[in-house]
Structure 1
Amino acid sequence: MHSNTTALVLGATGGIGGEVARELREAGWDVRALTRGTPPARDGITWIRGDAMNRDDVVAAAQGCSVIVHAVNPPGYRRWAELVLPMIDNTIAAAAEHGAAVVLPGTVYNFGPDAFPDVTEASPQNPRTRKGAIRVELERRLRAAPARGARVIVVRAGDFFGPRPGNNWFSQGLITPGRAVTAVNLPGARGVGHQWAYLPDVARTMVQLLARREALEPFAAFHMAGHWDADGTEMAAAIRRVVARRSGNAPKIRAFPWWLVTLASPFVATFRELREMRYLWREPVRMGNARLVAALGQEPHTPLDEAVEAALEGAGCLPPASAAENRGRAVSLDEPAS
Structure 2
Amino acid sequence: MQSLPILPPSSHTVLVLGGRGRFGLAAVQAFARSGWRVLAQMRPGATAPQVQGVQWLAHAVDTTAGLEALKADARGATVVVHALNPARYTRQAWERENGPLLKAGMAVAQALGATLMLPGNVYNFGQSMPPVLMEGAPYRPSMAMGRIRTRMEEELEGATQRGELRAVIVRAGNFYGQGQGTWLDLAMLKGIQSGKLVFPGPLDVATPWAYLPDLAQTFVQLARVRHSMAPFESLHFAGHTLAGHDWVQALQDVARQQGWLGEDQSLEVAGLPWPLLRLVGPLVPSWAALAALRYLWKQPHRLDNRRLLSIIGDEPHTPWPLALGRTLQHLKLLPLAPVQVHTLVTQP
Query: Following the alignment from structure 2 to structure 1, what is the Cα–Cα distance between the partners of residues 195 and 318?
Result: 25
**What is the SS of the residue equivalent to 2:316?**
coil
Query: Following the alignment from structure 2 to structure 1, what is the Cα–Cα distance between the partners of residues 11 and 19?
Result: 20
Deviation of 1:17 after TM superposition, in Å, equals: 0.8
Preserved contact between residue 244 and residue 251 of structure 1 (Cα < 8 Å) = no
Preserved contact between residue 30 and residue 216 of structure 2 (Cα < 8 Å) = yes
Matching residue's letter, 1:238: A
| Higher mean displacement: 212-221 or 54-63 | 54-63
Does residue 293 of structure 2 align to residue 277 of structure 1?
Answer: yes
Deviation of 1:219 after TM superposition, in Å, equals: 0.6
The residue aligned with 2:12 is: 5
Q: 1:236 to 1:71 in 2, by over 3 A?
A: farther
The residue aligned with 1:90 is: 104
TM-score, normalised by the number of residues in structure 1: 0.88
The residue aligned with 1:158 is: 173
Q: 1:74 to 1:255 in 2, by over 3 A?
A: same
Deviation by residue 1:304-333 (Cα, 9 ceiling, x = unmatched): 1111111111112225648x99xxxxx9x9
Matching residue's letter, 1:65: A
Question: What is the 5 A alignment of 1:246-257?
Answer: 246-247=258-259, 249=261, 251-257=267-273
The residue aligned with 1:328 is: none
The residue aligned with 2:239 is: 226
Q: 1:269 to 1:42 in 2, by over 3 A?
A: same
The residue aligned with 2:6 is: none
Q: 1:310 to 1:260 in 2, by over 3 A?
A: farther
**What is the SS of the residue equivalent to 1:63?**
coil
Structure 1 stretches of 5 or more lacking a match? 326-330, 334-338
**What is the SS of the residue equivalent to 1:233?**
helix
Query: Following the alignment from structure 1 to structure 2, what is the Cα–Cα distance between the partners of residues 181 and 210?
Result: 43
Deviation by residue 1:31-58 (Cα, 9 ceiling, x = unmatched): 1111113332542211111123234354
Q: 1:204 to 1:181 in 2, by over 3 A?
A: farther
The residue aligned with 1:336 is: none
| Higher mean displacement: 51-60 or 272-281 | 51-60
- Residue number among 165, 174, 181 corresponding to 1:167 in the alignment: 181
Deviation of 1:4 after TM superposition, in Å, equals: 4.0
Structure 2 stretches of 5 or more lacking a match? 1-8, 344-348
Deviation of 1:140 after TM superposition, in Å, equals: 1.0
Q: 1:221 to 1:104 in 2, by over 3 A?
A: same
Question: What is the 5 A alignment of 1:291-306?
Answer: 291-306=307-322
Q: 1:320 to 1:248 in 2, by over 3 A?
A: farther
Deviation by residue 1:108-152 (Cα, 9 ceiling, x = unmatched): 011123432211121111101111111111111211233344211
Preserved contact between residue 78 and residue 113 of structure 2 (Cα < 8 Å) = yes
Aligned residues: 322
Query: Following the alignment from structure 2 to structure 1, what is the Cα–Cα distance between the partners of residues 285 and 241?
Result: 29
The residue aligned with 2:57 is: 48
Query: Following the alignment from structure 1 to structure 2, what is the Cα–Cα distance between the partners of residues 211 and 280?
Result: 33
The residue aligned with 1:289 is: 305
Q: 1:6 to 1:183 in 2, by over 3 A?
A: same
Query: Following the alignment from structure 2 to structure 1, what is the Cα–Cα distance between the partners of residues 229 and 159?
Result: 15
Deviation of 1:67 after TM superposition, in Å, equals: 0.8
Preserved contact between residue 118 and residue 285 of structure 1 (Cα < 8 Å) = yes
Deviation of 1:248 after TM superposition, in Å, equals: 5.5
Deviation of 1:7 after TM superposition, in Å, equals: 1.0
Query: Following the alignment from structure 1 to structure 2, what is the Cα–Cα distance between the partners of residues 101 and 314?
Result: 31
**What is the SS of the residue equivalent to 1:166?**
coil
Does residue 200 of structure 2 align to residue 193 of structure 1?
Answer: no
- Residue number among 17, 21, 31 corresponding to 1:24 in the alignment: 31
**What is the SS of the residue equivalent to 1:308?**
helix
**What is the SS of the residue equivalent to 2:137?**
coil
Q: 1:256 to 1:319 in 2, by over 3 A?
A: farther
Deviation of 1:3 after TM superposition, in Å, equals: 6.0
RMSD: 2.4
Does residue 80 of structure 2 align to residue 68 of structure 1?
Answer: yes
Matching residue's letter, 2:172: A
Query: Following the alignment from structure 2 to structure 1, what is the Cα–Cα distance between the partners of residues 337 and 72?
Result: 45
Q: 1:50 to 1:255 in 2, by over 3 A?
A: same
| Higher mean displacement: 69-78 or 206-215 | 69-78
Preserved contact between residue 31 and residue 46 of structure 1 (Cα < 8 Å) = yes
TM-score, normalised by the number of residues in structure 2: 0.85
Preserved contact between residue 11 and residue 37 of structure 2 (Cα < 8 Å) = no
